[in-house]
Structure 1
Amino acid sequence: MARKYLVMAERTPKFDDSVIEPHRTFLRELLAQGQLQESGGFTDGTGGAYVVLAENLTAATAIVHSDPLHTTGASDLTIHEWDITVSA
C-alpha cells in the first residue's frame, strides 16, 4: 500500500526560472503514473510543496531526487512521511 510523502521545496540562491517547466513536466509525469496526489507553489514565491505516493521512504526519496528542482540545485527538498488524520 502506498504511503503519502509531503515534499517541501524551498528555493536556493541557485534557483532560475528555467527550471520551472522541467519541474512541471516531472510533476505531470508523476500524476500520469499515479504517484502524485497534489502540488502547488507558495504564494510568497519562496517555493512549494507536493504529495508523492510511494511504498516507502526509500522509494519516495528516489522519486524526489529525480525532480529537476533537486538535480539542478534550484531548491532544497525535504521529504516527510505524512500520516493524515483528518481530511475533507
Structure 2
Amino acid sequence: MPKYLVMARRTPGFDASVIEPHRAFLRDLLAKGQLQESGGFSDGTGGAYVVLVDDLDTATTIVRSDPLHTMGASELTIHEWTITVSA
C-alpha cells in the first residue's frame, strides 16, 4: 500500500486550540488503519504524519479534512513516499 508523508508547517495565524482537534483526527485515522505514525518537530514549527491509503486522491481528501487545514493553522503538503531503507 502506498504511503503518503504529510508535512505540516504552522502558519503565522496558528492557534494552539487546533491541537486537540488535530490529535482527535489522527486518533480516528489510526483506528481506521490509515495512519502509520505522526509527530511534531522539536523546534515547534509543525510536524508530519504518514497516511496509508490506496492513492493520492484519497490522501488529499483525508488531509483536507484535518483541522490543521480546515482551521487555517498550518500549510499541509502531501508526498507519495517510497521507503528504501527501514529499521
- Deviations 1:24-78 (CA, angstroms, capped at 9, x unpaired): 0000000000000000000000000000011100000000000000001100000
% identical aligned pairs: 78
Structure 1 spans left out of the alignment, 5+ residues: none
Q: Is 1:38 the equivalent of 2:37?
A: yes
AA matched with 1:87: S
Name the residue aligned to 1:19.
Answer: 18
* Post-superposition offset of 1:22: 0.1
Name the residue aligned to 1:53.
Answer: 52
Distance (whole Å) between structure 2 residues aligned to residue 32 and residue 79 of structure 1: 21
Question: Where do 4+ consecutive residues of structure 1 move more than 6 Å?
Answer: none
* Post-superposition offset of 1:14: 1.4
Aligned pairs for 1:59-78 within 5 A = 59-78=58-77
Structure 2 spans left out of the alignment, 5+ residues: none
CA RMSD of superposed structures (Å): 0.5
Distance (whole Å) between structure 2 residues aligned to residue 33 and residue 46 of structure 1: 27
Name the residue aligned to 1:85.
Answer: 84
Distance (whole Å) between structure 2 residues aligned to residue 20 and residue 83 of structure 1: 28
TM-score by length of 2: 0.98
